[in-house]
Structure 1
Amino acid sequence: MDMLESEGVFQYGNYRKEAEDLHSIVSYLYQEKYDVAAVVGHSKGGDVVVLYASLYDDVRMVVNLSGRFYLEKGIEERLGKEFLDRINKEGYIDVTNKSGNVLYTVTKESLMERLNTDMHATSLSISKECSFFTVHGSADEIIPVEDAYEFAKHIPTHKLCVVEGADHCYTRHRKELSDAVVGFITSKKARDTTLED
């Protein structure tokens, strides 16, 4: 397995499959005797690591960067008005850029998978042994910061860091983002090492 290459194609929805793919990678790393300190995901990847933590109990730390709690939101902005009628009629929706080039295709199945992924139930099923950290920008223009507060409300071992003024990609706040994530992981690792001695 070459961990540096992927033949994968972006799919809308598909959270469970991506969590399974992540589990394959983590399992491979453990098999190769690596210590997997944490799994980290941004945006959709943030939701994937939340789902991962609810399904698998093999990583002690999870970092969610700007993940969406309410997966039913943000769809109309990306797929357009009456997206349900269109996808029911056509079976798919092509998402294009401003030049009209197709970026990806949303199938009815992938849309329904997103709509049926319940982040509330997912959050409640995360083990109390898992240290959980969410970082979210206060000026996120894609996923509102309120979603981060929902994760904090429902995950028992949750720590929240809101980066003031940061947008969805932390364009002008990358140092604050990296400092927060590295600080969380290293402080937890140091604490765990001390407890094991």
Structure 2
Amino acid sequence: MSQTKLQIPQAGFPTPIVGILQRARPEEGTRGQPVVLIIHGVLAHKDQVYHKKLANRLAEERGWDSFRYDLRGQGGESEGKWGMMNLDDDIVDLKVVIAYLEEEWGYRIHLIIAHSRGSMITAYYLSCFPHPHIPLFVNLSGRYDMTRILTDSRYSALRTEEEEYDKKAVVDWKVKVAGKELSNRVTWEGLRSFAEWNNDYLHHSFPQDIDVLTVHGTADQIVPVQDAYTFHTILSRRSPGTHSLSIVEGATHNYLKPFDEPVDSILKWLRRVDPPSSGVGAGGGGGGVAPSSKSPPKHKM
């Protein structure tokens, strides 16, 4: 396997989107080959929790390349201004990343695996943007009921003793991301805007033919496990059998070391919904496109 850091330019931003392209068989070409996108959540980074283990298992067991990148302003290498409601920028960046992998490297996006905030932007992208067919999506710890964030104990300082919201109050959210101490300001306006994000598009615009796996931990104190059951109810109304649910007993929002779950759940689901095509080897899943002899493009690091 090989890992290459990519810096993807984005119009309107002075700094690139930074990510790691992990290749299962770097000696082979990429044109027409499947690639997996791995997207993290809020105030996290591309190598957070289970992401590296997941990329390794996808390469070893499926022969698939993957690309995991840092969302802007979340503490990784993609620089930008942090904001609770910078979801529009995240969605545009996802669109740019997909176009770059398709046009510059010749990949076809076969699977998107996204965590929490990453799940939100992915589901919206799949529902509302035209794109080549992406057959598989994994929704990890995804949030559906946005209003629950208004009662999140992390933002209790925004409320008065009467449980009213103080519109002038702020909360400095202090976290450690990729070894860096960060302090990000949460305001009432930002929290309210986030809570008003409308997920109704899932009912009428989410594609009928994408196979979806929802994975959620029962001990998730950030996004309650009830949201996973809501996703299951909504997405099961599409084509029969296109949504699967994996509930992980005792798992928190970011799961638990050594992070065998949710990785095991994802690989088990893939073996069922996307078995490798015969005669093409480990990387033959998703249609069994034969390797191209064309070399990948050269990129500046």
> 1:107 offset after TM fit, Å?
4.5
> 1:136 offset after TM fit, Å?
0.3
Number of the residue aligned with 1:21: 93
- Please list every run of 5 or more consecutive structure 2 residues that lacks an aligned counterpart in the other structure: 1-7, 9-15, 20-76, 176-180, 276-284, 289-301
SS in 1 for 2:108: coil
1:193 to 284, 287, 291: 287
Greater Cα offset, 139-148 or 71-80: 71-80
> 1:173 offset after TM fit, Å?
6.3
State, as a whole percentage, how many aligned pairs show the same letter: 28
Q: CA 1:22/1:127 → structure 2, altered by over 3 Å: closer, same or farther?
A: same
Letter in 2 for 1:38: L
Number of the residue aligned with 1:78: 154
Letter in 1 for 2:118: G
> 1:34 offset after TM fit, Å?
1.5
> 1:19 offset after TM fit, Å?
1.9
1:143 aligns with 2:223: yes
Note if contact 1:61-1:185 (Cα within 8 Å) is conserved in structure 2: no
1:123 aligns with 2:199: no
Structure 2 Cα separation of the partners of residues 109 and 24 of structure 1: 28
Structure 1 Cα separation of the partners of residues 198 and 270 of structure 2: 27
1:56 aligns with 2:129: yes
Note if contact 1:79-1:95 (Cα within 8 Å) is conserved in structure 2: no
Number of the residue aligned with 1:89: 168
SS in 2 for 1:85: coil
Greater Cα offset, 123-132 or 167-176: 167-176
Q: CA 1:143/1:26 → structure 2, altered by over 3 Å: closer, same or farther?
A: same
Structure 1 Cα separation of the partners of residues 212 and 225 of structure 2: 17
Note if contact 1:166-1:173 (Cα within 8 Å) is conserved in structure 2: no
SS in 2 for 1:50: helix
Greater Cα offset, 108-117 or 133-142: 108-117
Q: CA 1:131/1:57 → structure 2, altered by over 3 Å: closer, same or farther?
A: farther
Q: CA 1:102/1:177 → structure 2, altered by over 3 Å: closer, same or farther?
A: closer
Structure 1 residues 178-189: aligned runs within 5 Å: 178-185=263-270, 187-189=272-274
Q: CA 1:163/1:8 → structure 2, altered by over 3 Å: closer, same or farther?
A: same
- Please list every run of 5 or more consecutive structure 1 residues that lacks an aligned counterpart in the other structure: none
Richer in helix (by share)? 1
> 1:144 offset after TM fit, Å?
1.2
Between Structure 1 and Structure 2, whose CA radius of gyration is higher?
2
> 1:57 offset after TM fit, Å?
4.7
Number of the residue aligned with 1:68: 143
Structure 2 Cα separation of the partners of residues 46 and 170 of structure 1: 16
> 1:69 offset after TM fit, Å?
1.0
Structure 1 Cα separation of the partners of residues 126 and 80 of structure 2: 22
Note if contact 1:14-1:114 (Cα within 8 Å) is conserved in structure 2: no
Pairwise CA RMSD: 2.7
Structure 1 Cα separation of the partners of residues 91 and 192 of structure 2: 17
Matched pairs, number: 188
Structure 1 Cα separation of the partners of residues 111 and 244 of structure 2: 14
Structure 2 Cα separation of the partners of residues 137 and 61 of structure 1: 21
Greater Cα offset, 4-13 or 22-31: 4-13
> 1:39 offset after TM fit, Å?
1.6
Structure 1 Cα separation of the partners of residues 130 and 80 of structure 2: 25
Structure 2 Cα separation of the partners of residues 137 and 57 of structure 1: 32
Number of the residue aligned with 1:42: 115
> 1:75 offset after TM fit, Å?
3.1
Q: TM-score, normalised by structure 2?
A: 0.55
Letter in 2 for 1:74: I
